Amino acid sequence: MPPRTLTVLAAIKPGEEKALRAVLRPIGDDVNGSRLPAVGRPHIAFPRSERIHFARLAILSDPDRGPGRHRLLYASVFDGSLDAHLAEIVSLTSNLDAIWGCCEGYAGAASFAAFMKARAHEPSALYIAFRDETVASIQGAISARRARDQARDAGVPDPPTSPPGAMDAIGAVTARVIRAAPILRDVVVAVAENGLANVYRGTLKVLASLDRYTAFRLLNRVTRNRLPPRQSPFSSASLDTCAAPTPLVPGDEIPSDRDPEFREDVVTQNQLTLVTVIQPGATARVRAVMSAIGSYSTRLSPKGSLTGVSTIHFVRWVIVDGGKRLVMVSDYDGSWENYIDEFAEMILSGLDAIWETAFGYPPDGARDLPAFKQFLRSHQVPAEVFYSAYPEQTVLNILHDTGAAYR
């Protein structure tokens, strides 16, 4: 069973945002438990978890509830059942009330599972780099590789291994065929839910810059599908890159009270959380694009690569607030700049397809890279807490350690 995701948005009680942030910040500062927590200070013992791959807690603006209102985002990727994951969160948290007691509707640990389920949102599209790996299998593969490295350093030769045989290759091909088989059903469901025109146009929009794949190149030629010409040779980005984010156009929103001490690129892995506002009447188009991305990533994408981007562990897009907003939650390797550059290089038309209906999206989309980055910065939400079960490992490391590169 592949890892599962949980995305919860819980309204924070009026006036409780600062108190909640004061509780979460120390947890995030020592998320791996390298220091003993201060007596009485709430903490979440994430390193004791046997099933959580990634988790984050972030505070978002909540404009639908009024000025100055906020909500708490909890987003995780985990193995096993949702009930087991929620029970584990309770067992790992020293003072559940100190965190969730700031949220409306929370009534204590006994009803925590029901509280979370009532505020959970299913992803509209989800990519998993390693669908067949658990926290235990990844950590086990890392430990085995380290043991081999230590033995090699001590002069012990590697044990003999045999290359994959014909049956292994046949098994791998069979598994890919089985995984891809439901793609036609995905298309039928997407058309029924979003309309044929939206699915057709959304899929072509995603594929417009993917001519490096033979099948997509042929489809683009047959349908005369290509990126539209740029509207201007100049960037539409503001020259002032130091000012606090403000709405880019009427109808746009800033989803976070950006902390001047916000930190990023401090570990091998990083997180990106984005909240954008969908223009009225465009929700079905966005859902159709999500269907195309979700179907491809689930049925066709190889291990450790989303159309050539091999720095993403998990990424999901969630449509919330009755179709008004789109939330992106990503766990990735390397710096923010390199991550966005790679996305723009490898999946340019996909980026336009996802966000072209968002308020404030640049006229020339991701081809205007400075303006695109400004758009993302304006809609980014810093995480108060960000946890990874294997924080020093990249996607390529895990691909090698688990042997997935050879399957």
- Which pLDDT does position 400 carry in this prediction? 92
Q: What is the 3-state secondary structure (H, E, C) of the chain?
A: CCCEEEEEEEEECCCCHHHHHHHHHHHHHCCCCCCCCCCCCCCECHHHCCCEEEEEEEEEECHHHCCCCEEEEEEEEECCCHHHHHHHHHHHECCHHHHHCCECCCCCHHHHHHHHHHCECCCCEEEECCCCCCHHHHHHHHHHHHHHHHHHHCCCCCCCCCCCCHHHHHHHHHHHHHHHCCHHHHHHHHHHHHCHHHHHHHHHHHHCCCCCCHHHHHHHHHHCCCCCCCCCCCCCCCCCCCCCCCCCCCCCCCCCCCCCCCCCCCCCEEEEEEEEEECCCCHHHHHHHHHHHHHHHHHCCCCCCECCECCEEEEEEEEEHHHCEEEEEEEEECCHHHHHHHHHHHCHHHHHHHHCCECCCCCCHHHCHHHHHHHHHHCECCCCEEEECCCCCCHHHHHHHCCHHHC
| Mean of pLDDT values over 260-276 | 81
| Mean of pLDDT values over 140-167 | 80
| Mean of pLDDT values over 288-300 | 94
pLDDT at residue 241 above 80?
Answer: no
- Which pLDDT does position 38 carry in this prediction? 66
pLDDT above 90 covers a percentage of the chain that reads 77
- Which pLDDT does position 45 carry in this prediction? 95
| Domains (range + CATH), the chain | 4-120 (3.30.70), 178-382 (3.30.70.100)
- Which pLDDT does position 325 carry in this prediction? 98
pLDDT at residue 406 above 70?
Answer: no
Quick: pLDDT tens for 338-377.
Answer: 999 999 999 999 999 999 999 999 999 999 999 999 999 9
- Which pLDDT does position 263 carry in this prediction? 64
Confidence label for 166 from pLDDT (cuts 50, 70 and 90):
low
- Which pLDDT does position 383 carry in this prediction? 94
- Which pLDDT does position 258 carry in this prediction? 66
Quick: pLDDT tens for 196-228.
Answer: 999 999 999 999 999 999 999 999 999 999 999
pTM: 0.93
What mean pLDDT value characterizes the chain?
A: 91
Confidence label for 151 from pLDDT (cuts 50, 70 and 90):
confident
Higher pLDDT, 156 or 16: 16
pLDDT at residue 69 above 70?
Answer: yes
Quick: pLDDT tens for 307-342.
Answer: 999 999 999 999 999 999 999 999 999 999 999 999
